[in-house]
Amino acid sequence: MKSIARTFTLSLGLAATAIFLATITITVWQAQLREYDPVVCRVAAGILYDAAVVDPGHALTIRSTRRVEELKSFSPKLWYVVSYEKLITEFGGDHRPALPFSLPYGGPIGFSVLNTLDQNATFCLAVINWGPSDLVMMVGGAQVRFGQMLLSFVARNAFPLSLGALAFASTVILGAWLSGRFVARGIERVTRRALAIDPSAPQGSIALDEVPIELKPLVEALNRAFDEINAYIKMQRRFLGNAAHQLRTPLTLLRARIEDVAEPQLRSALVRDMRRLSSLVAAMLDLARLQNHAIEKGPIDLADVARDALADFGPSALDAGIELSLEQAEAEGTVVQGVEAAIRSALANLVGNALIHAGGAKRVTATLGRGSVSISDDGAGFSPNYEHRLIEPFQTGNAAQGGAGLGLSIVHEIMAAHGGAFVITSTPGGGTTATLRFAEAAAEASDEDKPGSIETA
């Protein structure tokens, strides 16, 4: 797609050039209508002057140039007499009327249109300086083409025409530049307003007050698209929330019925499946609440939340032979602003994910920093190409293990709602670290990122 400003400038330049050339053509045409004889006099005299060859004291000839031949063919009654001192050459003597004076002519230099001796016709008298003397040309019955008149006009007025063309071109270039800037600034205003719309809440629209008239149809189409996208998102969120709520009641009844199963192995398998299904429903509810921005922030101590999360998973870690530990790198700065239930859910997702999917892990560590908390394991890690898929819904770190695949997506939504960042760094064979960075740690985020890390905000 070509640049609008460039296309506009090119179009304006071509139009201006056409107007300039048309102006010159009209000027010459009007001059021909008003003063045909003087114009023809100058053109014909100029043609003969260019073709004249003078050998002082010996000969005067008019060369048979292309322009001379065109003048003769276009003027069937053409005659001319050219003299230089006592040298004379003439053409069309049969058509030449009686002249009011004899040659050689000794009058002043210039162009004149005179009457013949019988007053029935006119002829052109041109006296042009040629070295020590003057070249005198008398021409009658001449007819010239419009193109010849145009070329003659341009040749006689080359300097003023050049100045006019330069001024005209400068005006066109300046106008095109200003117009391009105006178009660009109008598009920039629309772009800024479009970028100011929250992607997670596209119910906003672009105001039409300061939008150029030419861009209003585009902006109106964008506003309609935003409205349709917002309606679709709201419908999806309502469906997600309603589905999760509707599933809670049958899940509660199923949990009660499972307790009545007599066979221990079957009951254990059903309980495990029920736990996974309940986790999925809870994740869907958390996702629906976060997407609807139903959050009210308050002070949260990350140390307390991290200790509680590790304590909740203590029995599961003990059964799996994995050690849980808590490390605090900063003595202060562990209090952040957020929703405690959401942060607990995020940390629980990260710890549970590490216990389930960190293949070969022997230790899971929660590390507290200033405005951040990290969950690290010493498991097998992931390849860099796979890390980018972990925060997508229904993606799990290990397909062989159970899980709804919504955990890291939920964590991503939680941190986005808190204005923070979710960073995953992993090295094959070197373990994985998932970090929650809150707004309090934003200034330090750029210095801590490692190559290959994934940051979402």
The arithmetic mean of pLDDT across residues 211-232, rounded, is 78
Query: Greatest CA span in the chain, whole angstroms?
Result: 144
Cα 96 to its chain centre, rounded Å, is 72
Backbone region of residue 403 per phi and psi (left: phi > 0; alpha: psi in -120 to 50; beta: other values): left
Which pLDDT value is given to residue 312? Answer: 84
Residue 11 corresponds to which amino acid?
S
Which pLDDT value is given to residue 168? Answer: 75
Tokens representing 375 are 């969950």
Report CA dihedral (22, 25, 31, 32) to the nearest 10 degrees. Answer: -140
SS3 (DSSP) at 303: helix
pLDDT digits (tens, 9 = 90+) for 395-411: 544 443 444 345 687 78
Q: Which residue stretches of 196-312 are H helix?
A: 216-258, 264-291, 302-312
The arithmetic mean of pLDDT across residues 31-56, rounded, is 77
Cβ atoms of 404 and 283 within 8 Å: the answer is yes
Which pLDDT value is given to residue 31? Answer: 56
The conformation of residue 329, written as its DSSP 8-state character, comes to S
**In which band, very low, low, confident or very high, does the pLDDT at 261 lie, cut at 50, 70 and 90?**
confident
Give the CA count within 13 Å in the CB-facing half-sphere of 163.
3
pLDDT at residue 455 tops 50: no
pLDDT digits (tens, 9 = 90+) for 87-127: 889 898 887 888 777 777 777 888 888 888 777 788 888 88
pLDDT digits (tens, 9 = 90+) for 304-356: 989 988 888 888 788 788 899 998 866 667 888 887 877 888 888 888 888 87
pLDDT at residue 445 tops 50: no
Tell me, yes or no, if the pTM score tops 0.85: no
Tokens representing 319 are 């059964």
Task: Give Cα separations from 352 to 111, 221, 279, 349, 364 (angstroms).
Answer: 106, 46, 11, 5, 10
pLDDT at residue 449 tops 70: no
The arithmetic mean of pLDDT across residues 225-250, rounded, is 75
**In which band, very low, low, confident or very high, does the pLDDT at 367 lie, cut at 50, 70 and 90?**
very high
**In which band, very low, low, confident or very high, does the pLDDT at 366 lie, cut at 50, 70 and 90?**
very high
Q: Which helix (H) or strand (E) holds 336?
A: strand 335-338
Separation CA 386–CA 426 (nearest Å): 10
Separation CA 409–CA 247 (nearest Å): 21
Count of Cβ atoms closer than 10 Å to residue 321 Cβ: 8
Cβ atoms of 251 and 273 within 8 Å: the answer is no
Cβ atoms of 297 and 417 within 8 Å: the answer is no
Which pLDDT value is given to residue 268? Answer: 76
SS3 (DSSP) at 346: helix
Residue 207 corresponds to which amino acid?
A
The arithmetic mean of pLDDT across residues 62-85, rounded, is 88
Range with the largest mean pLDDT of 15-29, 80-94, 251-265: 80-94
By percentage, how much of the chain surpasses pLDDT 70?
A: 72
Separation CA 139–CA 125 (nearest Å): 7
Q: Are strands 363-369 and 323-328 parallel, antiparallel or unpaired?
A: parallel
Peptide bond preceding 451 in cis form (omega within 30 of 0): no
Tokens representing 270 are 């059903």
SS3 (DSSP) at 98: coil
Separation CA 421–CA 359 (nearest Å): 26
Report CA dihedral (398, 402, 408, 411) to the nearest 10 degrees. Answer: -150
Contacts of 93 (CB under 8 A, 6+ apart): 79
Separation CA 371–CA 118 (nearest Å): 113
Q: Are strands 133-140 and 79-84 parallel, antiparallel or unpaired?
A: antiparallel
Separation CA 380–CA 239 (nearest Å): 38
SS3 (DSSP) at 89: strand
The arithmetic mean of pLDDT across residues 227-247, rounded, is 74
